[in-house]
Structure 1
């Protein structure tokens, strides 16, 4: 009967307990849950539907107020957090703000509404998978309509509010509004099946993840836009934007998953600390 080499047996005996500890830890449970909800596949779907929904929606919304609006290209460049040179490459992809509304057709708006409702359904399904909930009934589709309408208003305010362009005050207001929107979005799309206090950590974790993605974009996507534009032309910039949307999808669903883990683990940690800090006999 074949036996394991002594070196492999030693490594197994050394790393076996470590693997078990990691597997039982919140990190291990989070990793297993991320595979169970198919985080990467859902993020790819989020990016595809987001490109069909968010890009046209943001173009139209930012064009609704040409006097105060920044235009989608400028809005996207600031959202990516890339350098000025890379922003100019992004701006070359899109029409000026005033032209977008003039060229928008009724068919385009109808297609945008269909993709928008599908996008809302995809986000809802991702949240349901994170919390282990069954799919909502078909008559709950009205939640997608409400969510898409509030999302449109939120994006309009983000694109036209001059306060958000201030470095410090604007960043604080934008972060707080994002937390409130994501907090409410989870509650609405989940149909009130999860408590408000359980959803708050996920909203905060998602905003923190988006801020981290902005820093990563500054370091990684800025040079990528420059190099891809030289190699592939405007298509290279589109590929970088699509990659960024995949990252946004990972943060949206991953942030909700981290929020659930925090909500479940913090009481356990508090009880463990309370037992350790109790009176000694």
Structure 2
């Protein structure tokens, strides 16, 4: 199956690379086609402007135990500590009724609805990585809401999952990586509208799940110092810069994983194991 559809501009890969390292050539063509950095930046922007405000709105009006779980999940996922963690706590410590009253019920609904922009951006990334035509909005709208709901629910329990419910960080890494793999496997299948079978989506899911957990481990080491320096230099605005940088990094990892997963799934040996279909993309159902 060709990497790029007819009429699509390809990256100029040298002939010697095509001859001696064909896999590398196909990877470079795929990454150039998907435009990893541009896609990741768009995803980060949509998450920052839509999904994260929705998370705060939900947390502000949720019961106390939900707020504590969200704070724990943010702390373990992003490695936030001290002043930056207190900023998150201060958002959730505000009275939920007052938060709704100040912003208005309509404003809260608009915030929650705008959060699906992240779902739509991720769908476009998956479709581009898998060379699928854009799905019709009326057929995909419920998938945007479903994806956002499941991921918000999954984030709620990231704290205990990352610690394997008290068994330690090794067990936590394995459990969190497994759950992330399953979530990214389901994410691709859902947002692609089931146009790609389950098995070919597995390599990308494994890369995304493991990559996400490695980023989480790195965040626990890097983020506390980075946030502290940014707070000292820029005040409360510094944490915004660090958060946006973290989101871009995370979505670079995810976009790379999904894009590389497509290439791996179409290599001869994995394609036989995964029963990857050959031929042009099927029409959108």
TM-score range, shorter chain: 0.7 to 0.9
Partner of 2:118: 119
Tell me, in whole angstroms, the C-alpha distance in 2 between the residues paired with 1:225 and 1:118. Answer: 27
1:131 and 1:260 in contact (8 A); partners too: yes
Matches within 5 A, 1:150-229: 150-158=150-158, 164-166=164-166, 167=168, 168-229=170-231
Partner of 2:74: 76
Q: CA deviation at 1:190?
A: 0.4
Tell me, in whole angstroms, the C-alpha distance in 2 between the residues paired with 1:45 and 1:224. Answer: 23
Partner of 1:279: none
Matches within 5 A, 1:25-174: 25-62=22-59, 64-67=62-65, 69-70=67-68, 72-81=70-79, 87-94=81-88, 95-99=90-94, 101-102=96-97, 103-104=99-100, 105-140=104-139, 141-158=141-158, 164-166=164-166, 167=168, 168-174=170-176
Q: Secondary structure at the match of 2:266?
A: helix
Q: CA deviation at 1:153?
A: 2.4
1:80 to 1:25, Cα distance in 2 relative to 1, 3 A: farther
Q: How many residues align?
A: 251
1:63-91 Cα shifts (integer Å, max 9, x gaps):
6342365354443231123xxxx511322
Tell me, in whole angstroms, the C-alpha distance in 2 between the residues paired with 1:182 and 1:57. Answer: 21
1:40 and 1:250 in contact (8 A); partners too: yes
1:97 to 1:161, Cα distance in 2 relative to 1, 3 A: farther
Q: Extract unaligned runs of 5+ from structure 1.
A: 1-15, 272-281
Q: Give the TM-score taking structure 1 as reference length.
A: 0.77
Q: CA deviation at 1:199?
A: 0.7
Q: Secondary structure at the match of 2:135?
A: coil
Moved more, 252-261 or 193-202: 252-261
Q: CA deviation at 1:191?
A: 0.6
2:176 and 2:213 in contact (8 A); partners too: no
Q: Give the TM-score taking structure 2 as reference length.
A: 0.76
1:158 and 1:164 in contact (8 A); partners too: no
Task: Report the structure number with the largest CA radius of gyration.
Answer: 1
Tell me, in whole angstroms, the C-alpha distance in 1 between the residues paired with 2:178 and 2:38. Answer: 29
1:27 to 1:234, Cα distance in 2 relative to 1, 3 A: farther
1:232-268 Cα shifts (integer Å, max 9, x gaps):
1111121011000001111121111121122122617
Tell me, in whole angstroms, the C-alpha distance in 1 between the residues paired with 2:158 and 2:222. Answer: 25
1:20 to 1:206, Cα distance in 2 relative to 1, 3 A: same
1:37 and 1:126 in contact (8 A); partners too: yes
1:117 and 1:144 in contact (8 A); partners too: yes
Q: CA deviation at 1:40?
A: 0.8
